[in-house]
Chains A and B, each alone.
Chain A
Amino acid sequence: MRNQPETVHAYNIPRLNWWFLIASALFVGCFVLMIWVDYSGGELPFLGLKGDRQWKNYQREFYTLEKKRLASDAQAAELRANEQGLAKLEAEENQLNTQLSGKRDELAKRQAEAAELKVEADRVMREFTMAKATRDEVRSFYEAALERNELKKDNPEVQDWLDRVETANDRAAKLELRNQEADAKYNAAKAKVEELVGQRNAIEAQKNRLLSTKTIVSKRLKQLSDSLVQTVVNAPVLEFAAATYKVEQIVAESHHVDVNFTTVPRVDRCITCHKGIDRKDATTDEKAWRAQHKIDNVEWSKLPQPLRSHPRLDLYVSDTSPHPASKFGCTSCHWGWDRETNFSRAGHTPHAEEKGLYVQDKDTGFWVPYAEPDEEEDAKVKPAAATKVKPVEMTQRDAWEKNYHWEHQEFLTQPMRAKKYAEASCLKCHNNQTHLEGGENLDHGRRLIEQLGCWSCHKMKQIETYSVHHVAEGETFEEICKLYDVVPAEVRKLNNMAADAPVTVGRELTIPIRTLRKPGPSLYKVATKDTKEWTRKWLHNPAAFRPNTYMPRFWGLDNNKDTPVRNEVEINAITEFLFAVSEKPAYPPPPVKGDAAHGKQLVQQVGCLACHVIDDKLMDLKPTKDVAKYLDKWEYRRARSQGPQLGGAGSKSDVNWLYAWLKDPKQYNPKTKMPNLRLSDQEAADIAEYLHSLKHAATDDQKLDPVDKNELDAVTLEYLQVTLPRKQAEEKINNLDDLIEQYFGDETTAPYYSDATRLAREQAQVAALQKEYDETFDDAVQKKKEALEASLKVVQEKMAAIKQQVAALTPEEKKNVFLGSKLISRLGCFACHDIRGYENAKPIGAELSEWGSKPVSKLDFGLIEIERDRIAWLKQKLKAPRSYDIGRIGITRSPQELLKMGKFSLTEEQMDQIATVISGMTDEKLTADEPQKLTPTEHMIERGRWMVKELNCTGCHQIEGKGWAIRSTGIPPGMEPPMVSGLPGQLRQGQRTQPDWLFHFLKAPQTGQIRPWLHARMPTFGLSDAEANVLVKYFAYEGRAQFPYQSAKINNDPVHLAAGKQLFEQLKCALCHIVEGKALGKPLSEIPEEDLPRLAPNLSLAGKRLQRDWLINRWLPEPLAQVPGTRMPQFEYGATIAPNILGGDGLKQREALVDYVLSLAEHEDHAVNNSSATASKQ
């Protein structure tokens, strides 16, 4: 035995074995743990694992419910089957079976016979098939042989094949016959069997049909309930095949998300947990039926999350909705990390502010919103409420932290939006639409943004919306403008087209839908409207005078409340500037003495309150909280916020100005939205007197601090130093004339100040024209020169006067005007108001068109403690816009660097609505099929809807089922302005009235024509032809009315009209309707006030106003279907009311009645209609 040297190990083998054992055990342990984590929901608190597989628990919950649902569905299906006669069928079946059992032997014999014959028939069939195949084969061989032998039929090979063909043909023919015989025999035998069992089998089939739902449901139920099957399909490793519990996803092919610099389709796994999202609740009838029969019913819409169904399945998720989940997924609207199944990381975002009551559910341990148990209905729905413990006040965020270990995901680029902001995403596709179903917050938010003027400082593409028109072959620019009823110059400017430039085929022209105007009033003539004192008080805090004003507050905020002396200087400087540069037209006193009491009555009657609120109570509310609560009343937030709150008007303006304004608002401000109500001198004087009597004591009594002269110097110097070195600034402060002249003057001088070389250019032009004339002696040139010279002379004279005017100002006045101009530039006042000298100034705010996608890391949260979250930042910005300066003032920020956004007077809800819109303005790129593209018709409808909103038509009327705000002002029933268009199926203005009439009515309505009993007046809005046409087309298109309108032919047959007249008298139409200036047999002026509400429209105007077809086929047959609540009764035209008129034919009677009514007055001014109307000429 060789003595091998013993292997020397650096380690000890036995010990190593031990280590190996330990390692193996650890490995196995980890493996088991892994499986455990994966299959148990994954919660291992001691390892810090917070339940990544929570979805499995939800799915288990879901399938428990699903089993309950299936069981109850099966029960219901069975009961329904019974209701439809299952028992009877079963009885019949049993009876037939009993009968059959008596003939069991006979049946067996017949069945055996049939079976035998079937075997035989099948055999013969096979043989026949074979024979046919053989025949075809032989035929082809024969033809081949024939070809080979040059078509010689006498060739032996050909002969041989021919024989074979004949044999095969023979055989096939015989077999065919036999096949038919065998089939016939079998069929006969089958019929004999059928004779015995046919009826029974038919009943059985019928029974199975009745039970088909139950069968399907039961099968699925059995599958889910079979614990063996479930264990196997969901077992570790085996689960890859067909697990019940699995991650589920929707791939939204055309909706993309950026992942690590590439764009990929969204893969939404939300339905892994939200498994009940597409489940529809039972209908009310079905629910009642089930309750009656004590069958369970799963109410998916009332389940706790995540199993609850989507609240708007009519709009989303379901395949029949406009946004099916299969195409849109979930995150294209909701955002969130599409692939994630962990609650926090998926980006769920709670409401973090509002506190609510929560209780801990005993079964799940989750904190859920507390539902008042005393509500009967609730107790029935959620019997669990009784078993819950005492409610605790917390936020949704607190509850989520407890329930789901929720953590804020700061670096998620698209976190889900908290529920109340969910509508934000609609904006990326639907910004062209004025109203969005299911997008009420968005609608209100956009209206607020328009009214507050957010868009006028911050560019927001989503607010200024456009349609795109692709220029087609042979279209001219003018035709396109006409198609959309837009002003050509506007379109040229918008599309950067030179004047007279033609359009090229294929060019995309941008056509405006909304033409926004500055939200604040013009300040060109402010000195005649307000006083300096009032203006300073107003600037201090506009909300103190009008709690719901759209004017923001700029002073006394977080970053300047500690500098009252400077604030007073700034406010005074702006006021002095505005009054110094203002035009000062003279407003003489009203020609008649006004009566305030009558004025008050008029304000309540003529329609002022549809747009304005007059509320002394609102003025006296002091604490902000009360005001917010009060403002929450809908009229402040909706239609009646069109014009300012008028309480306190007398503390602001004098009677003379008010009178002139009421008589014709456009003389003061041509761009105002305030319409002309065609008030008489007396009426205007009365209202002016009334408004002037409305004083706001707190404003009147407010004392202003004196303006500190040293501070004025200091601040003026500070602003001068922005562009000048200190030394020069100190000199310049005493010589400001050239810096302020530009703000004086009027629209003739303004262009010369804003373009410094214009004067010199035009002077040169005069010289050139003179030279040209000297050479040509052309009179036209001479005239042109003279005209230019004359206008220049006026300008120069005015500028000289301005120079003198400015020179005459005191040094202090000059400093104020200079400082005021700088402050207006800094604060951007001109974005909302017309201010002389700022016509071309650029808005000061940052563009917000993509703000919703701005990374949270790029937002400056300053030194204040709020959630690092986009919406939290935005809400803080709205609530306390200057708070991001706190802790920085005078340290890291000089006065010039401080934030300057004003603080708006908003309720919490309004801020949420604005936040919804702004956070919906994102940089998301849409694929071609996503955005809502508007056709010219839809474009016109949207423009019309926008104009309706802009003019606040819904303040007085109901349009598309919305509005009628004036009814909340205490106007008696029957005295409200008419409904214009209702919900789908109801009245449509485009169907009711003739477009020509509507066009002229909108342009120049007259008082006391159609419904003279109404005190409210249709205002004169001063619409252009194009604007009136937009509305006419909108009503026509929206109402799916005939357009262009073809005048209906009236049947002038005297017999027909006489029948109409007879009906008119029999139905006593003139008992309510006004005809020839009379009603109730009296002139209108003699009708007492209490009888006015029962009058009906003037039928003398019907001929040119109403559409014949609408009257005959829609209005007369069922007035209530057109206008709910209408006083117009429904008559049973035909034999019931007048068997002897027109043979008792209802349709003929309606035609005769309508033709009679339409011919009540001559169409005397038809010629006027046709001369200028463009409405129906396209």
Chain B
Amino acid sequence: MQSKQWAVVAVVAVAAALSARAGDVSGSVKFDGEAPKMKKIKMDADPKCAEMHADEPAKSEEVVVNENGTLKNVFVYVKTGLEGKTFDAPKEPVEIRQHGCMYSPRVFGMMAKQPLKIHNDDDTLHNVHAMPTASKEFNIGQPNQGMETTRTFANPEVMVKFKCDVHPWMAAYVGVLSHPFFATTGEDGKFTIKGLPAGEYEIVAWHEKFGEQSAKVKVADGAVSQDFSFKPTAE
């Protein structure tokens, strides 16, 4: 959850710098349906990975429904309404870790040109293969435990997928934006986008499996509430 904290820190920092007339958009993302079973991941391909989950096999985080019936790993961001405004990218890096042959966090946001720290906690080879279309593709091998590499994305793009070619089950998604107004739902399924200047916006909630939903919100002084709800797709 570290990157989320960073995102929040970034949001707060920028929000403080903005004019007085600003508001927050918050809400929760509900999952309208029966929670699907999380599939077990077969990690036979790399014994090192399997070892780390010897007690209990790792489960696919493609769809994570929280206990309160909300959906985790939904990326919520301002899609339109900020045209013509420019925001400086924070110097503080966002972090993604490879831990137990899984990405953590799986879904997160960052700003274009903001540094991204990529960390390998495992004693095996991971390669972080980011596949953006608007920025330069990169594929870095991290053979050693504790290795750290920093990269940036030059241009905004929602979402950029990460994969590991050694461990095909590994996947992560990052929303790269030109502004700091985004958030990702966690274990409570809630999100808060802080300090939006007054105005009308299109807010989009993205989920890797269930696609996108959008809503129009009007921000004046104070808080605005906006909930989303996803339905399971037929398989």
Q: Which residues of A contact B (CB under 8 A)?
A: 1066-1068, 1071-1072, 1080-1081, 1090-1091, 1093-1094, 1119-1120, 1124-1132, 1136-1137
| Interface: B124 (CB within 8 A) | yes
15 A-B pairs with C-beta separation under 8 A: A1068-B125, A1071-B46, A1080-B45, A1091-B45, A1094-B166, A1125-B137, A1126-B139, A1127-B165, A1129-B127, A1129-B128, A1129-B140, A1130-B139, A1130-B141, A1136-B147, A1137-B144
Q: Which residues of A contact B166 (CB under 8 A)?
A: 1068, 1071-1072, 1094
B143–A1066 touching, CB < 8 Å:
yes
Smallest CB gap from B139: residue in A? A1129
Distance, CA A198 to CA B46, complexed state (A) = 76
Given contacts A1130-B138, A1130-B141, 17 further A-B contacts (CB under 8 A): A1067-B125, A1068-B124, A1068-B143, A1071-B124, A1071-B125, A1072-B165, A1072-B166, A1080-B46, A1081-B47, A1094-B165, A1094-B166, A1120-B139, A1124-B137, A1127-B127, A1127-B139, A1127-B165, A1129-B128
Q: Which residues of B contact A1119 (CB under 8 A)?
A: 139
Q: State the Cβ distance, B124 to closest chain A Cβ, in Å.
A: 7
Smallest CB gap from B136: residue in A? A1120
| Interface: B161 (CB within 8 A) | no
Q: Which residues of A contact B190 (CB under 8 A)?
A: none
Q: A1067-B125, A1125-B131 are in contact. Are A1131 and B143 (CB under 8 A)?
A: yes
Q: State the Cβ distance, B39 to closest chain A Cβ, in Å.
A: 13
Q: A1072-B166, A1080-B45, A1124-B137 are in contact. Are A1129 and B144 (CB under 8 A)?
A: no
By Cβ-Cβ distance, the 5 closest A-B pairs, closest first, are A1129-B141, A1129-B127, A1127-B165, A1068-B125, A1131-B141
A1066–B168 touching, CB < 8 Å:
no
Q: State the Cβ distance, A1063 to closest chain B Cβ, in Å.
A: 9
A1067–B143 touching, CB < 8 Å:
yes
B129–A1129 touching, CB < 8 Å:
yes
Smallest CB gap from A1131: residue in B? B141
**Residues from 129 to 170 in B contacting A, C-beta threshold 8 Å:** 129, 131, 137-141, 143-144, 147, 149, 165-166, 168
Tell me whether chain B's interface is mostly helix, strand or loop, or mixed. loop
Against A, the Cβ 8 Å flags (1 = close, 0 = not) of B39-65 are 000000111000000000000000000
Q: State the Cβ distance, A979 to closest chain B Cβ, in Å.
A: 15
Distance, CA A904 to CA B47, complexed state (A) = 60
B168–A1094 touching, CB < 8 Å:
yes
Q: Which residues of A contact B168 (CB under 8 A)?
A: 1090-1091, 1093-1094
Q: Which residues of A contact B46 (CB under 8 A)?
A: 1071, 1080
Smallest CB gap from A1093: residue in B? B168
Partner of A1067, one of B138, B140, B141, B149: B141
Q: Which residues of A contact B124 (CB under 8 A)?
A: 1068, 1071
Q: State the Cβ distance, A532 to closest chain B Cβ, in Å.
A: 52
Distance, CA A1093 to CA B129, complexed state (A) = 15
Q: A1091-B168, A1093-B168, A1127-B129 are in contact. Are A1120 and B137 (CB under 8 A)?
A: yes
Distance, CA A1136 to CA B143, complexed state (A) = 11
Distance, CA A938 to CA B89, complexed state (A) = 50
Distance, CA A1125 to CA B138, complexed state (A) = 9
Partner of A1128, one of B139, B143, B147, B149: B139
Smallest CB gap from A1128: residue in B? B139
Interchain pairs with CB closer than 8 A, number: 59
Q: State the Cβ distance, B92 to closest chain A Cβ, in Å.
A: 22
Distance, CA A1091 to CA B43, complexed state (A) = 11
Smallest CB gap from A1079: residue in B? B45
Distance, CA A1128 to CA B131, complexed state (A) = 14
Distance, CA A1127 to CA B129, complexed state (A) = 8
Distance, CA A106 to CA B95, complexed state (A) = 69
A1066–B144 touching, CB < 8 Å:
yes
Q: State the Cβ distance, A431 to closest chain B Cβ, in Å.
A: 38
Distance, CA A995 to CA B46, complexed state (A) = 36
Q: Which residues of A contact B147 (CB under 8 A)?
A: 1136-1137
B143–A1137 touching, CB < 8 Å:
yes
Q: Which residues of A contact B47 (CB under 8 A)?
A: 1081
Of B124, B131, B141, most A-chain CB atoms within 10 Å = B141
Q: State the Cβ distance, B101 to closest chain A Cβ, in Å.
A: 12
Q: Which residues of B contact A1066 (CB under 8 A)?
A: 143-144
Distance, CA A688 to CA B135, complexed state (A) = 48
Smallest CB gap from B84: residue in A? A292
Distance, CA A998 to CA B124, complexed state (A) = 35
Q: Which residues of A contact B144 (CB under 8 A)?
A: 1066, 1137
Smallest CB gap from B168: residue in A? A1094
Smallest CB gap from A1081: residue in B? B47
Distance, CA A1081 to CA B129, complexed state (A) = 23
Smallest CB gap from A1096: residue in B? B165
Distance, CA A1093 to CA B169, complexed state (A) = 13
Distance, CA A1125 to CA B139, complexed state (A) = 8
Smallest CB gap from B127: residue in A? A1129
Distance, CA A1067 to CA B166, complexed state (A) = 12
Distance, CA A1137 to CA B129, complexed state (A) = 18
Smallest CB gap from A292: residue in B? B84
Distance, CA A972 to CA B63, complexed state (A) = 24
Q: Which residues of B contact A1129 (CB under 8 A)?
A: 127-129, 139-141, 165
A1132–B149 touching, CB < 8 Å:
yes
Q: Which residues of B contact A1080 (CB under 8 A)?
A: 45-46
Q: Which residues of B contact A1130 (CB under 8 A)?
A: 138-141
Distance, CA A1126 to CA B147, complexed state (A) = 22
Of B131, B140, B149, B166, most A-chain CB atoms within 10 Å = B166
Distance, CA A986 to CA B131, complexed state (A) = 18
Distance, CA A459 to CA B207, complexed state (A) = 61
Distance, CA A1129 to CA B143, complexed state (A) = 10
Distance, CA A1091 to CA B166, complexed state (A) = 10
Distance, CA A344 to CA B143, complexed state (A) = 71
Q: Which residues of B contact A1071 (CB under 8 A)?
A: 46, 124-125, 166
Against A, the Cβ 8 Å flags (1 = close, 0 = not) of B70-102 are 000000000000000000000000000000000
Distance, CA A1128 to CA B138, complexed state (A) = 11
Against A, the Cβ 8 Å flags (1 = close, 0 = not) of B189-225 are 0000000000000000000000000000000000000
Distance, CA A305 to CA B129, complexed state (A) = 48
Q: State the Cβ distance, B58 to closest chain A Cβ, in Å.
A: 17
Distance, CA A1014 to CA B54, complexed state (A) = 32
Distance, CA A1136 to CA B139, complexed state (A) = 16
Distance, CA A380 to CA B61, complexed state (A) = 44
Q: Which residues of A contact B137 (CB under 8 A)?
A: 1120, 1124-1125
Q: State the Cβ distance, A1088 to closest chain B Cβ, in Å.
A: 8
Q: Which residues of B contact A1094 (CB under 8 A)?
A: 45, 165-166, 168
Distance, CA A1080 to CA B49, complexed state (A) = 13
Q: Which residues of A contact B141 (CB under 8 A)?
A: 1067, 1129-1131
Q: State the Cβ distance, B81 to closest chain A Cβ, in Å.
A: 16
Q: State the Cβ distance, A1130 to closest chain B Cβ, in Å.
A: 6
**Residues from 102 to 132 in B contacting A, C-beta threshold 8 Å:** 124-125, 127-129, 131
Distance, CA A886 to CA B15, complexed state (A) = 80
Q: State the Cβ distance, B192 to closest chain A Cβ, in Å.
A: 31
Q: Which residues of B contact A1136 (CB under 8 A)?
A: 147
Q: State the Cβ distance, A1131 to closest chain B Cβ, in Å.
A: 4
Q: Which residues of A contact B127 (CB under 8 A)?
A: 1127, 1129
Q: Which residues of B contact A1072 (CB under 8 A)?
A: 165-166
Q: State the Cβ distance, B186 to closest chain A Cβ, in Å.
A: 30
Q: Which residues of A contact B129 (CB under 8 A)?
A: 1127, 1129
Q: State the Cβ distance, B85 to closest chain A Cβ, in Å.
A: 13
Distance, CA A1127 to CA B47, complexed state (A) = 20
Q: Which residues of A contact B131 (CB under 8 A)?
A: 1125
Smallest CB gap from B126: residue in A? A1129
Smallest CB gap from B128: residue in A? A1129
Q: State the Cβ distance, A1043 to closest chain B Cβ, in Å.
A: 31
Distance, CA A1124 to CA B46, complexed state (A) = 26
**Residues from 13 to 52 in B contacting A, C-beta threshold 8 Å:** 45-47
Q: State the Cβ distance, A376 to closest chain B Cβ, in Å.
A: 12
Smallest CB gap from B124: residue in A? A1068
Distance, CA A819 to CA B109, complexed state (A) = 79
